[in-house]
Amino acid sequence: MSHIPTLYTPRLVLRPFTLADGTRVQELAGDKRIAAASSHIPHPYQNGDAELWTNLHQISAEAGLGFDFAVTLAGTRTPGRELDPTETGHLIGAISLYKHPQPALDQACIGFWIGVHYWNKGFATEAGCCILEFAFRRLKLDRVISGHSANNPASGRVLQKLGLIPQPDTHADEKSGRRIENIEYALARDAWSRKSIIHRWKTALLAPLVSH
Ligand SMILES: CC(C)(COP(=O)(O)OP(=O)(O)OC[C@H]1O[C@@H](n2cnc3c(N)ncnc32)[C@H](O)[C@@H]1OP(=O)(O)O)[C@@H](O)C(=O)NCCC(=O)NCCS
């Protein structure tokens, strides 16, 4: 039985990875632009790497430490027409939440990548909102953290849109012999609750104005 739930957003379904996703993961994560942004993604992405990674998800989920979700398209619904079957269920990326191994530190780190073809359509932000909801509402975590390298402003923009706040501490990682500065972000549950209450309140107030 999977310990990773399936979550829904207006345009996406976030579900556990399966071994059948291997070829698609290799195709998407095998792009140099994805590997360049992460110290964990190998390049070139070899046959079997995706399956190895997928098997690790189950181990982390069983330990209650890690939640890796396949980001898939819920399908495009045009009014009066069926869902587009060529898009429905299509895997476009990954998003994860990894808890700090020290139980006293009730925090987790969020990570994500989206296939290059799907960039700048708001998918990472939409999946990220859903994961924050999962982290704070279901897992009752106190804090979510993340970070990105200084040469990856798109990731920083996503974290800011999610409401994460840049932290004063930075550290450097080494990739292919180059030192790259990392910018750290954090969001506390209280701050998230306040923001999501204001957001729902604004949405409820504006909805009648927008629909007429
Ligand atoms: C970072 C990443 C996940 C973003 O995915 P996405 O689905 O395109 O994200 P969104 O569409 O929700 O938001 C992207 C935002 O970045 C902005 N952006 C894109 N390129 C940018 C750049 N070079 N500089 C500044 N902002 C940029 C977009 O304009 C958009 O902001 P906006 O909505 O205010 O216009 C995707 O680029 C990716 O997978 N990159 C490689 C892996 C990675 O970086 N993972 C994160 C590691 S920490």
pLDDT, position 175: 62
Q: pLDDT for 149-202, tens place per residue?
A: 888 999 999 999 999 999 987 677 766 667 778 899 999 999 999 988 777 777
* Distance from residue 116's CA to the centre of ligand 1 (Å): 10
Asked whether the beta carbons of 187 and 154 are under 8 A apart, the reply is: no
Burial class (CB in 10 A: 0-12, 13-18, 19+), 202: exposed
* Distance from residue 38's CA to the centre of ligand 1 (Å): 14
Q: What is the pTM of this model?
A: 0.91
More confident residue, 177 or 120: 120
The distance from CA 165 to its chain's CA centroid, rounded to whole angstroms, is 17
How many whole angstroms separate alpha carbon 53 and alpha carbon 40? 10
The distance from CA 171 to its chain's CA centroid, rounded to whole angstroms, is 22
Interval 45-58 mean pLDDT: 95
- Judged against a pLDDT cut of 60, whether residue 212 lies above it is answered with no
pLDDT, position 1: 41
**Which of the listed residues 14, 112, 120, 185 should we mutate to test ligand 1's pocket, taking the one with most ligand atoms within 8 A of CB?**
120
* Nearest residue (CA) to ligand 1, atom 41: 34
CA nearest neighbour of 92 among 162, 9, 28: 28
Interval 118-131 mean pLDDT: 97
pLDDT, position 199: 73
State which H helix or E strand residue 33 sits in. Answer: helix 32-35
Sheet containing 107-114: give its strands across: 7-8, 12-15, 66-73, 91-99, 107-114, 143-149, 178-188, 165-175
- Judged against a pLDDT cut of 90, whether residue 136 lies above it is answered with yes
- Judged against a pLDDT cut of 90, whether residue 7 lies above it is answered with yes
- Judged against a pLDDT cut of 60, whether residue 11 lies above it is answered with yes
* 47 half-sphere exposure, CB direction, 13 A CA radius: 0
Task: Indicate if ligand 1 lies below 6 Å from the C-beta of 89.
Answer: no
Interval 88-115 mean pLDDT: 93
State which H helix or E strand residue 57 sits in. Answer: helix 49-62
- Judged against a pLDDT cut of 80, whether residue 43 lies above it is answered with yes
* 82 half-sphere exposure, CB direction, 13 A CA radius: 5
